[in-house]
Amino acid sequence: MEVDGFVSPHSSLESPAVDRRVTGAIAATGFGILGGSVLDATGGLVGSFSPRVMGEPDFVSTLHRTTAEPSACAEPEIDYEGLPQGAPSSTHMLAGAVAGIMEHCLMYPIDCVKTRMQSLHPEPGARYRNVMDALQQIVRTEGVWRPIRGVNVLAVGAGPAHALYFACYEKIKFSLSDAIHPGANSHFANGVAGCAATVLHDAIMNPAEVVKQRVQMFNSPYRGVMDCMASLLRQEGAAAFYRSYTTQLTMNVPFQALHFMTYEYLQELLNPHRQYNPSSHVVSGALAGALAAAATTPLDVCKTLLNTQEAQAVHVIQAGAAGAAAAFRTVYRTGGVPAFFKGVQARVIYQMPSTAISWSVYEFFKNVITKRQHEKRLRGDRDGDK
C-alpha cells in the first residue's frame, strides 16, 4: 500500500513507525487520518487509502476540501454602529463629551462673530460687512484674544451637555428603530431621538450660553466669566440663566430633528454599510448642519436677544410682556422680516464645520472605544477558556 508523496514506495502503513510518520505529515497539512480515511480540519471526508488496484492510483479520492464552516474560535465582526453587548453607555458619553468640547472650542471665534452680527442695534464700532471683516476688526481693535473670550465657560458646559446628548440620542434611536422597523433605520426614530436629546442638552447648556453671549458682545461690561455670573445673580436673579430656555428649545428641537434626520439620510446614501468612514461623516455632518442652521436662524436671533438683553431693543418690549413671544415681536418691530435673518451667513459658516467636527470626532472616538471594548472582551473570553 502506498501513498505518493507521504511514504516511500517500499514502506508499509502496517508499520507503527511509518504510521506515525504519515500521520504527522498529514497533520501538518491540516488533514487527519481516521480508519484509513483522510479528514480535513473540520472533520469532512476528503480521501481514503485503499489497496492498490492495477491502473488505479493508491490515493483513490483526490484531495478536496469540503465547504469551510466558521470556526468556533473565529472572532466575530465588530458591530461598529452599536455598543458591544454588555458595554456601558459611557462609550457614547465619553465620545460625545470630547466631540462637544472640540466642536465649540474650535469654532468659538466664528460663534463670537455670529452673536455680534445678530445684534438688532449694533454700535458703530460693531458694524461688520461679513464674517472675515468682523474677525479682522475685532482682532485689530480689541486684541487677538478677544474672539475667544468666554470659551472656558462653554467648554465646561459642552462636556456634560454633549455626553448626555449623544448617549440619549443613541439609546432612543436604537430602541425606537427596533420597535418601528426591526433591523432597519427609521427617520422618525432619528427625529424623536434628536428632540429628546436636545431637552437634556439645553438644560445643561443654557446657562453657559447666556454667560458666553454676554461676554461676547461689543463693549461687554463684564471683566470675565466669573464677574458676569456674579452680576447676573445679583442683578437679575437665577432665572436669568434660563430666560431663553423655552426659545432655545423652540429653536433646537426642530434644528436637531432636521439635523439628525438629514445626517442619517445622507449616511444611508454615502455610507450604506454604516462602517467608520471619516469623509462620509464630515460631508453628512456639514450638510446637515448647514440646512438646519439656515432654517432655524429666526429662532436663533430671538434667543440671542433674550440672552443678551440689548438695552436699545429691550425697551420696545412692553412692561407686561416677556419671554419668546415678546422677543419675536421685538425683532419684528425693530427690523421687520429681514431682522429674523441677521447673521444667517455667520450661523451657516459656523454650523457647517461645527457639526462636521462634532460628528467626525464623535464617530472616531466611538469607533476606537468600541474596538477596545471588543478586544478586551475577547481577551477575557480566551482567558476564561484557558
pLDDT tens, residue by residue, 302-315: 888 888 766 555 55
% of the chain beyond a pLDDT of 90: 31
**Is the pLDDT at 99 greater than 70, yes or no?**
yes
Could you give the CA distance from residue 109 to residue 377 in angstroms, rounded to a whole number?
Answer: 43
- Which stretches within 271-341 are classed as H helix? 278-295, 297-308, 311-314, 323-335
Lowest mean pLDDT among 128-137, 250-259, 291-300, 348-357: 250-259
CATH class of the domain whose range is 84-241: mainly alpha
Q: What is the mean pLDDT of the chain?
A: 77
* Cβ atoms 92, 170 nearer than 8 A: yes
Helices (H) and strands (E) in the chain, counts: 13, 3
Domain boundaries, the chain: 84-241, 243-352
Read off the pLDDT of each residue in 318-345 and give the average, rounded to a whole number: 78
Residue 158 confidence class, pLDDT cut points 50, 70, 90: very high
Could you give the CA distance from residue 93 to residue 99 in angstroms, rounded to a whole number?
Answer: 10
Could you give the CA distance from residue 36 to residue 48 in angstroms, rounded to a whole number?
Answer: 6
| 322 against 22, higher pLDDT | 322
Instruction: Please name the residues in contact with 224: beta carbons below 8 A apart, sequence gap of 6 or more.
Output: 149, 215
pTM passes above 0.75? no
3-state secondary structure of 48: strand
Over residues 189-214, the pLDDT tens digits come to: 888 888 899 999 999 999 999 999 99
* Cβ atoms 14, 51 nearer than 8 A: no
Residue 124 confidence class, pLDDT cut points 50, 70, 90: confident
Q: What is the pLDDT of residue 374?
A: 77
Identify the H or E element spanning 95.
Answer: helix 90-106
| 247 against 279, higher pLDDT | 279
* Cβ atoms 362, 96 nearer than 8 A: yes
Q: Beta-carbon neighbour count of residue 136 at 10 Å?
A: 11
Residue 386 confidence class, pLDDT cut points 50, 70, 90: low
Q: What is the pLDDT of residue 73?
A: 44
**Is the pLDDT at 348 greater than 90, yes or no?**
yes
**Is the pLDDT at 351 greater than 50, yes or no?**
yes
Sheet of strand 31-34: strand arrangement: 31-34, 37-40, 45-48
Read off the pLDDT of each residue in 369-380 and give the average, rounded to a whole number: 80
Over residues 55-76, the pLDDT tens digits come to: 444 444 443 444 444 444 444 4
**Is the pLDDT at 215 greater than 90, yes or no?**
yes
**Is the pLDDT at 142 greater than 90, yes or no?**
yes
| 227 against 72, higher pLDDT | 227
**Is the pLDDT at 261 greater than 80, yes or no?**
yes
Over residues 333-345, the pLDDT tens digits come to: 888 899 899 889 8
Residue 1 confidence class, pLDDT cut points 50, 70, 90: very low
